[in-house]
Structure formats: structure tokens, C-alpha cells
Amino acid sequence: MENIEKQVREEARKLLSEKKVDALVGYEQGTLPYQAAPCIITEPEEADRLVWNPFCSVNLAKYVHDLIFQHRQSQTRTKPEDRTKKVVGIVARGCTTRSIVIHLQERQYERDEVVIIGVPCTGYIAKRKLFRALDGAEPLSCVVEGDTLKVESAAGSKSIPIKEILSDSCLTCRYNNPVISDINVGEPAPPMNPDGEYDDVDAFENLPTDERWAYFTKEMDKCIRCYACRNTCPSCYCKVCFVEQSQPRWVGVSVDESDTQVFQIMRIFHQAGRCVDCGSCVEVCPMGVDLRKFLKKLDKDGFDLFEHRAGESLEDPPPLGAFSTYDKEDFIFEP
């Protein structure tokens, strides 16, 4: 871990001092001991701010898109021939690189506008699980020692095996090593347990219809429509999201629970073939809505119907951006 961190800083410094990138997105120590926050650095001296540890949770690909688009926006009044490109570097684990693949496939930016420092990943700590392990006590300091996390809290000190508090997305991750990269640091990480990937979805599918609806409504009732899930999602980069569109107004903003359900159905549906299961939405959700249960279903169907795994490779087009005459059509109603 420390070794990877050192190498990440080294590579970042090199990229910035050789001017190969204009800005670099990585993680830095957050304001709380159990937090690593996204950071954007532009000077080689700042490379020492970067960290790499199991608290690095949110998917950074979103920031690459944001930076590139902000830069483009700032040039709308520049003559086309005078416009410049900015290159963004990024510290990326498996899921982050898959999100970049999606951006590239959807022609958001060119491959030469991003420099990827690929990092092997052994999973990140889900904050909710950490708090559960501490019975809700606020951690005052956290130290990673090999496979355990030593936590000091008001309730005393405790050692927690990291494996027990990893995010659900990480436990069944299929791509914990980068799928594309320009620079690789560290040795490839050992595989997680992708075989159990759809166990949750399978179990849910087998419940009676009304129980599934009851679970869906119970989860969506928690949602306060803060849109943090959308804001953190690298696949949610639309300039104007449907939830803010007012001509026509797609989804109401009343307290009627159906409005929230419709918002969720549509946001989740927009991730069909595009959700890389990085778990960022679940991680940032203040209300602990079980979004993964529903997003994972799309992932499962994407593979089942179109043999597609989101962001797996640049050559494999997004399933809803393609079609085949031989697509399954067993759902078509024949009277």
C-alpha cells in the first residue's frame, strides 16, 4: 500500500514536471480520519498530497470529465483555431478505468486527453460498514496495518479485519486491476470473488412480486432527492439531467412518493450497460438507499442479453448504442 502510494506520487510528480498533464486527479487525506477526498493538483510539488489507501472510495473518472468540459466551456468564445486541449492525469483503479472506457466510447473526450496511472486495487472500506463494526462510535484515528484496520474511537480501540468492512461492490469485483492505462504502478492485485456477483440479484428475483415492490418502495422512501448519487456517478455526465429538465418536466418534484420512484427508475435505467458497479452512489448516499440491488440487475441483464460488461473494453460498444438482428426477443407478446 505505502509502496503504491510512493509510486503514485513519483509518477504524478514526473507527469506534472514534464508537463505531460495540465492537472492530475487523485485522492488526498480527507478532513476526517476515515476519509480520503478527491483532489486536483497542478504543480509537481503538490504530488506529496496524494494518498492511496483503503479509504479512497469515490470513482474519480467524473472529475476528468468535469475538468475537460469546464476547459472546453471556457473556450467557447475562442476562435476554433486558437483553442487548446488540456490533458488530465488520473489515478485510476479498475472501476475508474472502466468509467473512462465508457467516456471514450461515448466520445466525451479523446484518448490523448487523459493520462491514466493504473493502480491495482484490493477494495475500499464502506463507511457504513465501518460504523456498524464500531456500533456507531466516531473513529478518532484509523491506521491500516496489513489486512487490519486499527481504529481509535471514543469507545476504545479496536482492530477490524479490512475484508469484513469492504464495500459490497469490491467483494465481488471482476476488474480490480485497470482495464486500460498509460502507466502501471505496483503488482497486479489478486482477484476478488466475481462468481458471487449476482447472488443478491438472483435471490431478489426469486421473491414474490409484491415483496419486491415492497422492498423497492421501502428503499426509495428513504431517498431525499439530494441527487448525490447522480452527481458522483461518472456515467451521469449529461449537461442537463432529466430531473432538472422543465420543458417538458419529466419528473415531478412533489413529495408524492411516485415522483421519487420514477426518478430512481429512470436514473437507474440510464445506467443500463453503463454502470461499472464502482459503488460510488451507494457510498455517497446520505440515506443508505440500497441502489446496488437495482443497478446490479441491469448489469446482469446486460450480460445475459447482450454479453456485455460495462467498460470492459474499448472495442465492445455500449449495448444500447448498438443492435443485432439476432437479439433475443422472448419478451415480445404474441397473441
Partner 1 sequence: MTENKANENWEPKIVAFVCNWCTYAGADLAGISRIQYPPNVRLIRLPCSGRVNPFYVVKALQEGADGVLVSGCHPGECHYLTGNLSARRKFAILKRFLSYIGIEADRTMFTWVSASEGEKFANVIKGVTERVKALGPATKMIKTL
Tell me which residue has cell 415483496.
211
Asked if residue 268 lies in contact with residue 260, where contact means CB atoms within 8 angstroms, the answer is no
269 forms part of the interface with partner 1 (CB under 8 A):
yes
DSSP state of 81: G
Interface with partner 1 (CB under 8 A), residue from 215, 241, 303, 312: 215
287 forms part of the interface with ligand SF4 (CB under 6 A):
yes
Nearer to partner 1, 88 or 275 (CB): 275
DSSP state of 82: G
* Closest CB 325 distance from ligand SF4, rounded Å: 28
In whole angstroms, what is the distance from residue 233 CA to residue 72 CA? 21
Tell me which residue has cell 475562442.
78
Asked if residue 40 lies in contact with residue 82, where contact means CB atoms within 8 angstroms, the answer is no
Q: Exposed/middle/buried for 225, CB within 10 Å: 0-12, 13-18, 19+?
A: middle
* Closest CB 249 distance from partner 1, rounded Å: 11
226 forms part of the interface with ligand SF4 (CB under 6 A):
yes
Task: List, in order, residues 6 or more apart from 120 with CB less than 8 Å away.
Answer: 4, 93, 176, 177, 178, 185, 186, 187, 188, 189
Q: Which does 66 bind (CB under 5 to 8 A by kind): ligand SF4, partner 1, none?
A: none
Segment near ligand SF4 (CB under 6 A), from 80-88, 94-102, 104-112, 279-287? 279-287
261 sits in which H/E element = helix 257-269
305 forms part of the interface with ligand SF4 (CB under 6 A):
no
Measured between its terminal Cα atoms, the distance across the chain in Å is 61
332 forms part of the interface with partner 1 (CB under 8 A):
yes
Q: Which does 226 bind (CB under 5 to 8 A by kind): ligand SF4, partner 1, none?
A: ligand SF4
- Number of residues lying near ligand SF4 (CB under 6 A): 20
Interface with partner 1 (CB under 8 A), residue from 22, 259, 290, 316: 259
Nearer to ligand SF4, 200 or 259 (CB): 259
128 forms part of the interface with ligand SF4 (CB under 6 A):
no
* Closest CB 219 distance from ligand SF4, rounded Å: 8
Task: List, in order, residues 6 or more apart from 51 with CB less than 8 Å away.
Answer: 5, 26, 27, 28, 29, 36
Site string (196-225) toward ligand SF4, x via CB under 6 A: ---------------------------xxx
Cα atoms in the 13 Å half-sphere on the side-chain side of 271: 27
Of 205, 217, 208, nearest to 258 by C-alpha is 217
Segment near partner 1 (CB under 8 A), from 3-11, 56-64, 75-83, 294-302? 294-302
Q: Which does 180 bind (CB under 5 to 8 A by kind): ligand SF4, partner 1, none?
A: none
